[in-house]
A and B are shown apart, each in its own frame.
Chain A
Amino acid sequence: EPEVTQTPSHQVTQMGQEVILRCVPISNHLYFYWYRQILGQKVEFLVSFYNNEISEKSEIFDDQFSVERPDGSNFTLKIRSTKLEDSAMYFCASSDPAGGDYGYTFGSGTRLTVV
């Protein structure tokens, strides 16, 4: 079964540092998403991406965040200057061209710890 792959699985970074979270969506999917889950809280939408541009973003997704699809396979989330409150599990997801019949497929997540 196709999978969404995220790397690294766990990243520890110092406050103020930049981090890049990487995702490889399912190959024929065209819609890509980032969500995050702060420990003990609900899964929150960050951003959706289609046709090489952001299609929607939440209020959480401020200027500190950016997304990019640098080549045909990777989809990255960059956090420019990390804050303690950015510590969370970050999930990438992708969906098929028509929004399909499968919901989203989520990756296994990257646990980001900002110290």
Chain B
Amino acid sequence: AQSVSQHNHHVILSEAASLELGCNYSYGGTVNLFWYVQYPGQHLQLLLKYFSGDPLVKGIKGFEAEFIKSKFSFNLRKPSVQWSDTAEYFCAVRNRDDKIIFGKGTRLHILP
């Protein structure tokens, strides 16, 4: 069965630090990959997505992610985080059956 693994459950950073959140998936076929963000008390919002083409994907709010097919990875990065980036981040994969499977999430806490 396919799965999504997020390596870090809780990350604490200071403002201006660089961020990288790991995500690996297990599925051998063609996948679509997503990162969603959930700010405190709010709903899931799409940060960025990968369907095909350039494996380096740029999303909203300065986030980017790189799809490395050989490593089954889709790590999320941001060069300089802000206090407002405090949120929970979910990596997700959608297979040909069109169902999205979420990782367990990474809770990011930015210290002002």
Chain A residues positioned under 8 Å from B45 (CB to CB) = 106
- The secondary-structure label for the interface of chain A is strand
Select from chain B the residue with minimum beta-carbon distance to A104.
B100
Chain A 33-65 residues near chain B, CB threshold 8 A: 33, 35, 41-45, 48, 56
Question: How many angstroms between the C-alpha atoms of A38 and B30 in the bound complex?
Answer: 30
- Closest chain-B Cβ to A96's Cβ sits at a distance in Å of 11
Select from chain B the residue with minimum beta-carbon distance to A107.
B43
Select from chain B the residue with minimum beta-carbon distance to A4.
B43
Binary per-residue interface labels of chain B (49-82) against chain A in the complex, 1 for a CB within 8 Å, 0 otherwise: 1010000000000000000000000000000000
- The secondary-structure label for the interface of chain B is strand
User: Does the CB pair A56–B44 fall under 8 Å?
Assistant: no
- Does any Cβ of B come within 8 Å of A74's Cβ? no
Chain A residues positioned under 8 Å from B49 (CB to CB) = 101-103
- A residues touching B (Cβ–Cβ < 8 Å)? 31, 33, 35, 41-45, 48, 56, 91, 93, 95, 99, 101-109
Pull 25 A–B residue pairs with CB atoms less than 8 Å apart, ordered by A.
A42-B102, A42-B105, A43-B44, A45-B99, A45-B101, A45-B102, A48-B98, A56-B97, A56-B99, A91-B43, A91-B44, A93-B100, A99-B94, A101-B49, A101-B51, A102-B46, A103-B34, A103-B92, A103-B100, A104-B100, A106-B43, A106-B45, A108-B42, A108-B43, A109-B43
